[in-house]
Amino acid sequence: MAIRDILTVPDPVLKQVSRDVEAVTDETRALIEDMLDSMYAANGIGLAAIQIGVPQRVIVMDLEWGRDESKPDHRAPRTFINPRITPLTDELSPYEEGCLSVPEVYDEVKRPARVKLEYLDQDGNPVVEEADGLFATCIQHEMDHLNGVLFIDHLSRLKRERAVARVRKVRRAA
């Protein structure tokens, strides 16, 4: 399909709250294909539609891509439409997160270690599952995007300001 530009901080669009997808249509599936193309082109493992300027509650993810050196092009993309999460534990899991919308910035964020996830797949079928480990971290990170929250919003004000300044510097140098 098409590789779209990924928005970076401090673009105000990233702070918008995304709206539910009314119905899963061919247009929705085309958006999903563009999101996957854009995510793979940027070497990411997750992408929310708002990151390419579309304020809809759609997430794509591929936690297997690039993980097996013997199969570097192996892909196992997943789609989450209108996702909802519920923490299943008070236990927090730390993970050093990065983000395609905050390039070259990484920092530790603590999130619930296990969550219940409810969503529609790309055919509009309802799915309920539990997530833990990297899957739990990644889905919560992407869910934050749908709510206008970036991972740096979980950091101290000083770290957040430094992250935005670094992204601006990287963009000027490009």
Residue 131, strand partner residues: 115
The better pLDDT of the pair 45, 74 is held by 45
Whether residue 161 is contained in a domain is answered as yes
Q: Using only C-alpha atoms, what is the Rg of the chain?
A: 16
Segment 147-170 shows an average pLDDT of 92
Residue 1 resides in a domain: no
Distance of CA 115 to the CA centre of its chain: 16
When divided into structural domains, the chain yields a total of: 1
Q: Is residue 6 part of a domain?
A: no
- The pLDDT value given to residue 70: 60
Task: Supply the pLDDT for residue 169.
Answer: 87
Residue 45 maps to which CATH number? Answer: 3.90.45.10
Helix (H, G, I), strand (E, B) or coil at 81: strand
- Domain assignment of residue 4, yes or no: no
Q: Is residue 5 part of a domain?
A: no
DSSP code at position 46 = E
The two tokens of residue 151 are: 């991972």
pLDDT tens figures, 102-151 = 998 999 999 999 999 999 999 999 999 999 999 999 999 999 999 999 99
Report the pLDDT averaged over residues 16-37.
Answer: 97
pLDDT tens by residue, 27-36: 999 999 999 9
**Mapped to the 3 state alphabet, what secondary structure does 82-138 carry?**
EEEEEECCCCEEEEEEEECCEEEEEEEEEEECEEEEEEECCCCCEEEEEEEHHHHHH
Give the residue, 66 or 103, on which the prediction is more confident.
103
Alpha carbons 98 and 114: distance in angstroms, whole number: 20
Q: Is residue 143 part of a domain?
A: yes
When pLDDT is cut at 50, 70 and 90, the band that residue 76 belongs to is: confident
75 CB-contact burial (10 Å; exposed 0-12 / middle 13-18 / buried 19+): exposed
Kindly list the catalytic residues. 142
Query: What does the mean pLDDT of the chain come to?
Result: 93
Tell me: pLDDT of 69 over 80: no
**Percent of the residues in the chain that have a pLDDT greater than 90, as a whole number:** 85
Closest CA to 31 of 65, 63, 5, 58: 58
Contact of 148 with 83, CB cutoff 8 Å: no
Q: pTM (2 decimals)?
A: 0.92
pLDDT range class, residue 75, cuts 50, 70, 90: confident
pLDDT number for residue 171:
80
Residue 3 lies inside a defined structural domain of this protein: no
The token pair that represents 161 in the structure block: 């300001």
Range of the domain at 103: 12-173
pLDDT at 77: 94
Q: Is 88 exposed, middle or buried (0-12, 13-18, 19+ CB in 10 A)?
A: middle
